[in-house]
Amino acid sequence: MKVLRTKPIRSLAVLAAAALLLAGCGEPADSMSGASGSSGSAGASGPMSGSSGADAAAGDWKAGLAVLSEGEARDAGGELNTIAAAVLLDGEGRILHAVVDELEAQVTADEAGVALPGDLRTKRQKGDEDYPLSAVSGIGKSWAEQADALAKHLEGMTASEVAALKTDSEGKAEDPDLLAGCTIEIEGYRDAIAKACREAKPIA
């Protein structure tokens, strides 16, 4: 275990989640541009067709990243949870693609400082092998599959529509269509995605 001060711990959690999300959010933009270009060139007759039309649309796109972090203090230690969300928005501020990840870390503390566990992988990085949610899930899906189902459900929504997504007393979705693919608590993920939408900036 490494001994670190509290501020570096939080910074490490944020960087780990953000780096993963930024890498994941870049892929759909490329695939969408390619798809738009091929469909446009196949049957286009106007001045804006093919890749030029896709480039014009992409010029209005925005990207956003948000990180929410909270800690629970206990005697001689505690728990640090960090949720990160990345979004790609169209010109109307609606979600084209979203992705979330979460880092949970149990920490201990003494007079020397704060000690982090050696494994600082996020839930997405651990996969179903090291974070076996599918084995205990009522729908037999891994954490990543359920998180991606949530993100897919939110496509086409604005920040305010995401924020208005209703949850029950356990933080789980009330929408039956969403529950069919995602039964985990979603409040934190919803809030992170909504924040990423609100803070999105134009893509240079």
Neighbours of 181 (CB within 10 A): 16
Q: What is the mean pLDDT of residues 114-124?
A: 82
Per DSSP bridges, beta strands 201-202 and 2-4 are unpaired
pTM comes to: 0.74
Phi, psi of 48 (to 5 degrees): -110, 100
Q: Residue 127 corresponds to which tokens in the numbers above?
A: 């996969």
Q: Residue 23: exposed, middle, or buried by beta-carbon count in 10 A (0-12, 13-18, 19+)?
A: exposed
Three-state DSSP class for residue 28: helix
pLDDT digit string (tens) for 135-161?
999 999 999 999 999 999 999 999 999
pLDDT digit string (tens) for 33-64?
433 333 333 333 443 444 455 555 667 999 99
Note whether 29 and 57 are within 8 A (CB): no
110 pLDDT band, cuts 50/70/90, is confident
**What residues contact residue 105 under an 8 Å CB cut-off, 6+ apart?**
9, 13, 79, 80, 81, 116, 117, 120
* Strand ranges across the sheet with 62-74: 2-4, 113-116, 95-110, 77-89, 62-74, 201-202
